[in-house]
Amino acid sequence: MRITTFHVSSAVIALLAAACGEPQLAAELNEQLARDRLNAGEPPATSEQPTPGQPSELGEQAGAGEPTAPGEQPAGAENPVNPEAQPSAVFVPTTPNPGESGDPSAPADDEGTAPDVTPEVVPADPFAPRSGPFRVLVYSRTTGFRHDSIPQGKVMLQEIASEQGFEVTETEVNDLITPEGLAPFELVFFMNSTGDIFNQAEEAAFQEWMETKNGAYAGVHSATDTEQGWAFYKEMTGQYYDGHVNANTPGAIQFEASVLQFPAVVGLPNPWQRNEEWYRFNSFQEWSSKPGFVVLGRKQADNQPIAWVREFGNWRAFYSGIGHDSAAFSDPAVKQHVTGGIMWAVRREQQLR
């Protein structure tokens, strides 16, 4: 009641001041009246609204507190794992203090200023360690060459799931490549997929899942013989492969000295002697220098990458060129290699068993 009486008195005095030739006093009283109404949680006395982006009568910008534009990062959001990775910002509404809620019953703050309801911008660390069980979608659709090693690869992934405490769902159809279908999963594993496997809507759903749900990608061997024309897929895998040598060709992987403690590398022989259908990646110098890419191992024969990861935006990706023959997925060393890649991609490398 006191506030209402003050409003009426202020309005009357403002009118008298204007009538008596005191426009400055009238303006000051009207401004004070507007502030008192706002602090009391009452609607403004006028129905006019400031144009977005223009100053309001209190000198504030209309629309302040809108989300950061795509690509902009809050100060201090540098990722400690990979300084080049740019974590997105999430907006967490602040808990209003007394007098800031807009509730007429809440006491006004001491200075009588307008309530600050601008959401707080906080850096989201999408690479922070996670814990607990999770789900992996193993996707093995092929529209090109189909590898006989796919069944054994699935067996290996089921063994890894049992040992590391996660759940695997296998599919060769696209029913789950939707926003709702992908939502329960933290990682999609492309088990020797080939060809053009997603339509445009599915590509959009997968990219949205990766970028907005802090998703994770993993793929082996012919996962780089997949989706040649999809730009975002190449952001995860680097490039579409450039052919290969004959199957079961002897060779060796030399791991980079800087990654010997990486989860997908630690404990493996270096160099790692293997027989494989070695893929060629002739454009590696173009993509491996992009922010977030880290080459894990190279073929000794030509120094081209054969295993790598990328941490970028708010997602992680792991790829290994191993896996043409079924024997590869029966090899404990390959299992160890893939396990480390999966657990790193889902931010649980500290939980490796």
Out of 62-71, 134-143, 149-158, 254-263, least confident range: 62-71
In the predicted structure, residue 92 carries a pLDDT above the cut 70: no
- The CATH number given to whatever domain includes residue 161 is 3.40.50.880
Residue 336 in domain: yes
110 with 97: CB under 8 angstroms? no
The pLDDT-based confidence of 125 (bands split at 50, 70, 90) is confident
pLDDT at site 284: 97
**What pLDDT is attached to residue 88?**
34
**Is residue 11 pLDDT above 50, yes or no?**
no
Which of 96, 125, 154 corresponds to the end of one domain? 125
Does the residue 205 lie in any domain? yes
Burial 252-286 (b: 16+ CB within 10 A, else e): bbebbeebeebbbbeebeeebebebbbbbbeebee
Same domain, 102 and 238: no
CA distances from 151 to 62, 148, 170, 331 (A): 59, 7, 11, 14
Give the mean pLDDT of 335-341: 98
User: Helix 23-39 to helix 2-19 angle, to the nearest 10 degrees?
Assistant: 160
Residue 16 has pLDDT above 60, yes or no: no
Same domain, residue pair 188 and 270: yes
Residue 341, pLDDT score: 98
Residues 182, 231, single domain; the answer is: yes
Report the phi/psi class of residue 53: left, alpha or beta, with left for phi > 0 and alpha for psi in -120 to 50. Answer: left
- Calculate the dihedral angle through the C-alpha atoms of 284, 286, 291, 295, rounding to the nearest 10 degrees: 10
116: amino acid identity, one letter: D
**pLDDT grade for 206, boundaries at 50, 70 and 90:** very high
Domain span at residue 85 reads: 75-125
Q: Which of 53-57, 210-214, 331-335 has the lowest mean pLDDT?
A: 53-57
Residue 65 is assigned to a structural domain of this protein? no
Residue pointed to by tokens 């529209």: 143
Backbone angles phi, psi at 310, to 5 degrees: -140, 130
Residue 203 lies in a domain: yes
pLDDT, averaged across the chain: 78
Within 234-332, strands assigned E span 249-255, 272-276, 293-299, 305-312, 315-320
Domain count, the chain: 3
**Residue 164 pLDDT more than 80?**
yes
Each residue's pLDDT tens digit, 217-231: 999 999 999 999 999
Copy the structure tokens of residue 97. 């203090």
- Nearest-CA neighbor of 306 among 277, 326, 286, 328? 277
Kindly state whether residues 146 and 219 are assigned to the same domain: yes
- 145 and 98 share one domain: no
**In this predicted model, which residue has the larger pLDDT, 274 or 5?**
274
Residues 103, 3 share a domain: no
Same domain? 110 vs 161: no
Question: What are the tens digits of pLDDT across the range 41-74?
Answer: 444 444 333 333 333 332 333 333 333 333 334 3
Residues 237 and 141 in one domain: yes
Residues 120 and 141 grouped into a single domain: no
Convert the pLDDT of each residue in 263-312 to its tens digit: 999 999 999 999 999 999 999 999 999 999 999 999 999 999 999 999 99
